[in-house]
Amino acid sequence: MSFIGFALVAVILLILDVSLGGLLSLGPIRPSLTLPFVVYIGLQRGPIAGTLFGAAIGLGLDVLGALPLGATSFAFCVVGFACGKLWKNENAFRLFWPWTVFLVLGGAFAEAVSHYLVARGGGLDFMPLYLRSGLPTALYTATLGVLWFLSPLHRVRSS
């Protein structure tokens, strides 16, 4: 997929996340539709693409979301960069490694950043909040990512 193709998918995911993401909520747990895409770009296209797409998508979410400008952008660019840096593209792209592992770790990190800011803003303890909402959200996001990997939408599996 070309750069423009990725950018188009990013915009569509952003709009779907904002408008339809609430449908997937399980109580206080709402998965991110954009984080798996950032992880995917990082793993498939390397650290530079992961960083830039992560920062751009995160900035889009910040502009629309509840968090301060720059928070999600920071978290997503770190996730995108780490995915690209820690995994070499020439290795086999499998369900558990790297896909699920990076999704869970990336989600856990991004949720830690957002929950830390929310906890700090609301004067709450970070850890109970993170354990109740952040980690389950990361796992839910990873589950959706796994479902996507197993679905026909994902073509990389055959490569």
Partner 1 sequence: MSRSSQPLFAPRLDWVIFLATVGFSLTLLFFGKGKAAAAAKQEIGGAVAYLATPVVLVRRTFGLWQENSALRQQAVILSQENGTLRDDAIENSRLRSMLGFKDRFPMPLKTASVIGFPGAEIGGRILLNVGRHDGIRINSAVLTPLGLVGKVVEVSEFASLVQTLEGNAYGVSVMIERSRVAGILHWVGPHEWTIVGLSTGEDVRVGDLVVTTGAGTVFPKDVRVGVVTKITGQGEANIGWCRVRPFVRFESVEEVFVVTPAPTTDRGADSLMMRETRR
The two counts, helices (H) then strands (E), for the chain are 6, 0
Question: How far is CA 156 from its chain centroid?
Answer: 18
Burial label, 117 (beta-carbon count in 10 A; 0-12, 13-18, 19+):
middle
Using the rule CB under 8 A, which residue among 43, 45, 99, 115 binds partner 1? 115
Cβ-based nearer residue to partner 1, 1 or 66: 66
CB of 158 to partner 1, least distance (A): 28
Burial label, 78 (beta-carbon count in 10 A; 0-12, 13-18, 19+):
buried
Cβ-based nearer residue to partner 1, 43 or 73: 73
133 touches partner 1 by CB under 8 A: yes
13 touches partner 1 by CB under 8 A: no
H or E element that contains 109: helix 99-122
Q: Is 29 helix (H, G, I), strand (E, B) or coil?
A: strand
Residues 38 to 97: which contact partner 1 by CB under 8 A? 46-48, 51-52, 55, 58-74, 77-78, 81, 84-85
Q: Which residues bind partner 1 (CB under 8 A)?
A: 14-16, 18-23, 25, 27-30, 32, 46-48, 51-52, 55, 58-74, 77-78, 81, 84-85, 111, 114-115, 118, 121-122, 124, 128-129, 132-134, 137
